[in-house]
Structure formats: C-alpha cells, structure tokens
Structure 1
Amino acid sequence: MARIVAGVATSHVPAIGAAIDQGKTQEPYWQPLFAGFEFSKRWIAEQKPDVVVLVYNDHASAFSLELIPTFAIGCAESFAPADEGWGPRPVPVVEGHPELAWHIAQSTILDEFDMTIVNRMEVDHGLTVPLSLMFGQPAASNFHWPCKVIPLAVNVVQYPPPTGNRCWNLGRAIRKAVESFEPDLKVMIWGTGGMSHQLQGPRAGLINRAFDTAFLDGLTRDPAALARIPHLDYVREAGSEGIELVMWLIMRGALAADAREIYRFYHVPASNTAVGHIILENP
C-alpha cells in the first residue's frame, strides 16, 4: 500500500531560484537563507521518497486568465520547466507518476472535488524552486530529480481562491486516495508559497512575523483552527499574496492529526517575502 510519510511546506520565491542558478547562494544576502535548508537536504536524502505530491500555484505559465482551474493535477509522464520570460531554469525535466496521479484524480473527483486533469503543462518556479531547496541542484552528470513528482496547481491568483477549509479537506481526500493505491510507494506531500508578502500597492513589502509564526505554530498544534481563517484575514494580516498559505493546508490535511514537527525555519527577507519552512512526519 502507498503511504504518506511526511509533509513539507516551504516558500517558493522566484529570486531564490535565480540566486541558485546564478551561483549566488554564498553571497552575504543569501547565505543565511540557504543555510536554513541544509538540515532539510540531509533529511530528505535519508528519507528517499518515491513520489512527491507538490502543491503549488502557477504564475501564468501553464494557465492564464483565459483558463483558471481551482485545482489541477498533472497526470503526464513529464513536465518541462517553463520559460517565465528569461528562459527556463537550468533544472531537470520533472518526471511524473501518471498511475498515482490518475488514481488521485479519480478518488478525489468521486469524493466530489472538481479536479481538473492536465495531461500537458509546463511547471514554473512555484514547483521548481522548492525542489531545488530540498534536493539541491542536480549535477550535470546525473541531471534528474531523485524522485517522481505529481504537480497539483491551486488557483490563489484570481479571486475567488479556494477556502482554507476546502484545501484542508482536499488534503484529507488525497490521503485517502494515496492509502487506497496498491503499489508500495513512499509518498510525501508538499505545500508551497507564502509566507506573508505583498507585491504591489502601498503595502508592498509587507512582512508580518507574528502572523507567520502563529501559522507555523498552528500547523503542529491546531491545524483545524487554521482551516477556519477567512480570506479577508489572509489579506489583512499576510498581504495580498499571503493567501498562498492555503496550499500549506492541503499538505497538513493529508497528514495524521498527530504528525510531529521535526524542523522549522523562518527567514526575512528573501527578495520582499518572508520565507517559511516546516517538516512534519507522520507517526
């Protein structure tokens, strides 16, 4: 039986990818941030997941305002890095897991989630930056990610995004789907985006350390309470892009109630964003 062994949450700031790609990770501005992921890289190298279900949001690479699915699951064999205006990131093509992805799609749709099935799409920094942070940059001699990845894109760009409660419940449905998949697979689920940040307007550059810290605390102590946070509170407390945190609730909903926090990291600033990161293991 497939099983979800752990959940990871991390920000996916595009400037982090640029710093990696341009060899700037040891510069004074960036070194403290990348040092915060050293434990995570050692941990995941020991865990060796077979598949990561990676929850992220597309940034007008695969979708546009002409087509906005609330939840979209990638069921293809592979997903190429997107060109976001300055060329694709120099990272490997993402290898999918179509059998598990289709199983999750079937199970969640029959559980009354309107999941969009995507058989062809490119993936942008929302997905590739977390892979780089957790796995490091693959060497040219072995240019592939060390596990397969199922992209799960969530609309947190165009109002209305899904509620935290809907995301929490989707995570629970994903756990049910994974645990009903017969092949023996070690699965992780990652929630990405956030933490507090706003990219435009008078509050551009907003950082709310108190809200971010409370959210990290809640993931361990009372995640059900986080699922009740309304949209307006995310905008007020975490900025217009803080709504990305609902994607972390998909990750948390897919874990056991008594999942154990084994690592946490928080850093500001990275570009104009608060970077948060947490690892939770199922018992």
Structure 2
Amino acid sequence: MARITHGLTTSHVPAIGAMIDQGRTDDDYWKPIFAGYEWTKDYVAKNMPDVVILVYNDHASAFDMKVIPTFAIGCADKFEPADEGWGPRPVPPVEGHADLAWHIAQSCILDEFDMTIINEMDVDHGLTVPLDVIFDSKDNKTPKKWPTKVIPIAVNVVTYPPPSGNRCWMLGEAIARAVASYPEDLNVHIWGTGGMSHQLQGPRAGLINPDWDKRFLDDLTRDPQRLRTIEHIEYLRETGSEGIEMVMWLIMRGALGPNVSELHRHYHVPCSNTALGHIVLKNEDAA
C-alpha cells in the first residue's frame, strides 16, 4: 500500500523564487537562507518520494473573490506555473498524480471533508518555491523537470474565515487514511508551506516574532496537540495577519501520526519581510 514516510514544512517567500530566477542565491543576504536547505536537498535526493502532497495557499492566481474554496485538491495530470503579474516563473510544469489525487478526494469526501475538486489550475509561488528549494541543484538551478509527481492541496488562508488548526489537523489524518488505503506501493511525502510570522500591510507591517515561531517549531514534535488549539486571534496577534498560513503545517503534522522524529530544522530572520521556517520530520511508523 502507499504510505506517508516524511513530512516537511517551509516558507514560500516569493522573493526566494525571484533570487533563484535571477541567479542571486550567492548574494550575502541570501546565501545563509539557501544554505539551510542543503541538508534537505541531500536527504530527499536519497529518499526520493514517488509523490509529494503539497499543501499551500493560492495568492489570487487560480482563485479570486468569485470562488474561495476552503480546501481544494488538484486532480489533473499537469499544472502550469501561474502568471502572477510579471509572467510565469521559468520553472517546469508540475506533473500530477491524478489516480491518487482522485482517490484522496473520494476518500476524504466520504470521510466527511468537503473537498473542492480542481481539474484545471495554474500554480503560483506558494507551490513552486517549495519545489525549488528542495529539488534545485547544488548551485540552486531549477531542474528541467521536477523529479516527483505532486498533488496540490490549496487552503484558504487569505480571506476570513480560514479553517481552524484543529480542522486542518483532522484533514491531515483523513489524508493519511486515504493514502494508506491506496493499493499501489508508493513512498509519499506531505509538505506544509507558508509562514512563519509576518505581516505585509498596515501599521504592523514587518512584524516578526521569533520566540513564538520557535516554540511552534518545537511543538511540532514536543507538544503537537497544543498546536491544534491555537485560535485565529492568537495567530493574528502574535504572528501578524499572514502568520495564519501556519495552520497549513498542521495538515502535514496530522497526516504523520504520533510517532515522528525531527531530522532537520532551519530558521532565519529576516527573509525578505518574513521569518523563514523549515523542518523535516520522519514518520517512524512508516519506516
């Protein structure tokens, strides 16, 4: 059967993609940011997944105020890079795994999660930047083809109300059940993206809260049940208006089950106008 063996999280700061596209990853400012992913690049290359379930949020590229799904799953064979206002990024199309995606959609819907099924969707930096930082070459050159198939799961953390952390955790558990019931032998990773603390507008623009962020990273292994209970108002107060993206990390964490080990962590401030967080977890029960 298929199994989820690893989970990881990473911020999806759009400026990271811009620096890769412009060949500026060795700039003094950016070099320590990219260096924090070198361990993960090596590890993932040696433990290459067949499929990555990538949880991210769209930034008004595929969805707008006309349609706002809380949870959407991409069930297509291919997803093109989105034009975010200055042309699509020079990255390869994302190859989907339609059979597994449809299986997850069916399983989750019958498990009482109302997933929106998407058969045509362009994907923006929320999805392509995480692929870049993990799958680029040692000199941070984007590959001509991504080395694994990807199932996008888009979460609304842009327009109120976003889902609660607990609901996201429960979706992760439902995804894990779906994957475990898929008959093909597949090594599956689940990635949660976005965050950490940041606010992009208003009087608190530039807010970063390292103490809160680091406790959140600690509790992904030390006390993950606490993370399920964090209310929207705490994310807003402590991590800024965009810190709510961290609820997407809880989909990843809920999918891994109770027995995990932390393999790698990277935290850096500042990254553009955000705090950058990255962690790699192993599902010991799937080893």
TM-score by length of 1: 0.98
Q: Map of 1:266-281 to 2, 5 A cutoff?
A: 266-281=267-282
Kindly state the Cα deviation for residue 224 of structure 1 after the two structures are TM-superposed.
1.1
Report the equivalent of 1:172.
173
Report the equivalent of 1:145.
146
Pair 1:31 & 2:44 matched: no
* Letter of the structure 1 residue corresponding to residue 233 of structure 2: L
* Sequence identity percentage: 68
Match of 1:221, SS?
Answer: coil
Report the equivalent of 1:55.
55
Kindly state the Cα deviation for residue 258 of structure 1 after the two structures are TM-superposed.
1.4
Q: Map of 1:1-283 to 2, 5 A cutoff?
A: 1-136=1-136, 143-283=144-284
Q: What are the Cα deviations for residues 31-78 of structure 1, in whole angstroms up to 9, with x where unaligned?
A: 010000000100100001000000000000000011000000000000
Task: Provide the rounded CA distance (Å) in 2 between the counterparts of 1:211 and 1:277.
Answer: 15
Kindly state the Cα deviation for residue 139 of structure 1 after the two structures are TM-superposed.
6.2
Paired residue total: 282
Runs of 4+ in 1 over 4 A off after TM superposition: 137-140
* Letter of the structure 1 residue corresponding to residue 9 of structure 2: A
Q: Is the 8 A contact 2:197 2:239 kept in 1?
A: yes
* Letter of the structure 2 residue corresponding to residue 272 of structure 1: N
Runs of at least 5 residues in structure 1 that lack an aligned partner in the other structure: none
Q: Is the 8 A contact 2:130 2:193 kept in 1?
A: yes
Match of 1:69, SS?
Answer: coil
Match of 1:161, SS?
Answer: coil
Q: What are the Cα deviations for residues 82-112 of structure 1, in whole angstroms up to 9, with x where unaligned?
A: 0101111111100000000000000000011
* Letter of the structure 2 residue corresponding to residue 273 of structure 1: T
Match of 1:44, SS?
Answer: helix
Task: Provide the rounded CA distance (Å) in 1 between the counterparts of 2:133 and 2:141.
Answer: 14
Task: Provide the rounded CA distance (Å) in 1 between the counterparts of 2:16 and 2:62.
Answer: 21
Kindly state the Cα deviation for residue 256 of structure 1 after the two structures are TM-superposed.
2.1
